[in-house]
């Protein structure tokens, strides 16, 4: 018996959550401080878990049960989050995080929807060969893109779709590395997306990601001392897009492409 089998259907070692504590649909910010911010968009919210970096609240969005849980920083913690949430019943995972933009046209607070993630981290190498792509579930990606298109004028945001790079050495992202990734057309850098995509796919579950740009490396906007208001607004807007995407997925059933009118 491996660790996955041993942990199925019981209180989870890291999360300290068990069956019934989590919804089918889970939003995954990195920072636990953002859980309350995002859960405020739900109704009938209750605390689901609070251990280590994993802080969770569960409520309802238009009658659909949704959990918001922090993953902490980095691919290892994010992979553990998906593994243990899957053990207790979660089915669809959407990362709702921040990301450092690389392309000059991306402003702070813009939303980025990854259609793939460069695996510049070590966690996924334990799961599969490096040559395997880290990609979102097609229906979750479609639901996020459609929701973003429908909401962008009403909420007032821009969004970009493309590749991101997931790294696990934050301060090793030097000028040469940033220049290389920028030249390859990568939109931004984060620390969790590729792990969430990979683990969900291997577990036969669904995953997507939507990120708010926190700075722009190509324009010299690096690690702001104070969180920009545009970024705070981006967190709310990405959550609203993710919740709208969840509703699309939930209402459409197994084949979103056949039932949604663009």
13-28: per-residue pLDDT in tens? 999 999 999 999 999 9
pLDDT (average), residues 219-231: 85
pLDDT at 226: 82
- Token pair, residue 126, equals 């334990």
Position 234 pLDDT exceeds 60: yes
Task: Tell me the pLDDT band of 3, cut-offs 50, 70 and 90.
Answer: low
* Side-chain half-sphere exposure of 93, counting CA atoms within 13 A: 36
Report the percent of the chain where pLDDT is more than 90: 88
State the SS3 of 88-149.
CCCCEEEEEEEEEECCCCCCCCCEEEEEEEEEECCHHHHCCCCCCCECCCHHHHHHHHHHHH
pLDDT (average), residues 24-33: 98
The answer to whether 211 and 144 are in contact (CB under 8 A) is: no
Residue 47 covered by a domain:
yes
Residue 60 covered by a domain:
yes
Position 2 pLDDT exceeds 70: no
pLDDT (average), residues 31-52: 98
Buried b (16+ CB within 10 A) or exposed e, 127-164: eeeeeeebbbbebbbbbbbbbbeebeeeeebebbeebb
| Nearest residue to 260 (alpha-carbon basis) of 96, 138, 93, 158 | 138
Position 167 pLDDT exceeds 90: yes
Neighbours of 206 (CB within 10 A): 22
pLDDT (average), residues 24-39: 98
Neighbours of 193 (CB within 10 A): 33
Q: Which of 7-11, 152-156, 216-220 shows the highest mean pLDDT? A: 152-156
The answer to whether 99 and 52 are in contact (CB under 8 A) is: no
Task: Tell me the pLDDT band of 236, cut-offs 50, 70 and 90.
Answer: very high
Position 258 pLDDT exceeds 90: no
pLDDT at 257: 73
Residue 115 covered by a domain:
yes
Residue 135 covered by a domain:
yes
pLDDT at 4: 67
Task: Tell me the pLDDT band of 223, cut-offs 50, 70 and 90.
Answer: confident
Residue 238 covered by a domain:
yes
Q: How many distinct structural domains can be found in the chain? A: 1
For Cα atoms 226, 229, 231, give the angle at the middle one, nearest 5 degrees.
90
Task: Tell me the pLDDT band of 262, cut-offs 50, 70 and 90.
Answer: low
pLDDT at 30: 97
Residue 260 covered by a domain:
no
Q: Which domain holds residue 168?
A: 3-254
The answer to whether 96 and 28 are in contact (CB under 8 A) is: yes
Residue 147 covered by a domain:
yes
CATH of the domain at 104: 3.40.50.1580
Residue 80 covered by a domain:
yes
Position 9 pLDDT exceeds 90: no
């Amino acid at each position: 018996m491996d660790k996955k089998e041993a942990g199925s259907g019981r209180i989870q070692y890291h999360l300290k959550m068990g069956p019934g504590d989590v919804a089918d649909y889970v939003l995954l910010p990195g920072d636990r401080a953002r859980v309350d911010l995002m859960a405020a968009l739900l109704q009938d919210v209750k605390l689901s878990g609070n251990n280590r970096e994993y802080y969770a609240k569960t409520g309802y969005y238009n009658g659909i049960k949704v959990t918001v849980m922090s993953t902490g920083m980095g691919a290892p913690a994010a992979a553990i989050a998906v593994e243990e949430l899957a053990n207790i019943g979660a089915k669809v995972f959407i990362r709702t995080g921040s990301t450092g933009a690389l392309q000059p046209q991306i402003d702070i607070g813009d939303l980025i929807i990854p259609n793939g993630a460069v695996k510049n981290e070590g966690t996924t190498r334990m799961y599969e060969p490096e040559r395997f792509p880290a990609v979102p579930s097609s229906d979750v990606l479609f639901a996020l893109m459609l929701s973003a298109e429908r909401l962008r004028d009403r909420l007032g945001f821009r969004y970009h779709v493309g590749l991101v790079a997931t790294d696990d050495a934050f301060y090793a992202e030097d000028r040469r590395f940033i220049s290389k990734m920028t030249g390859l057309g990568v939109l931004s850098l984060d620390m969790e997306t590729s792990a969430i995509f990979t683990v969900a796919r291997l577990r036969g579950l669904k995953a997507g990601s939507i990120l708010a740009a926190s700075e722009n490396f190509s324009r010299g906007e690096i690690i702001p001392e104070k969180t920009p208001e545009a970024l705070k607004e981006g967190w709310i807007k990405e959550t609203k897009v993710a919740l709208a995407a969840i509703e699309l997925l939930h209402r459409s059933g197994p084949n979103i492409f056949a039932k949604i009118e663009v």
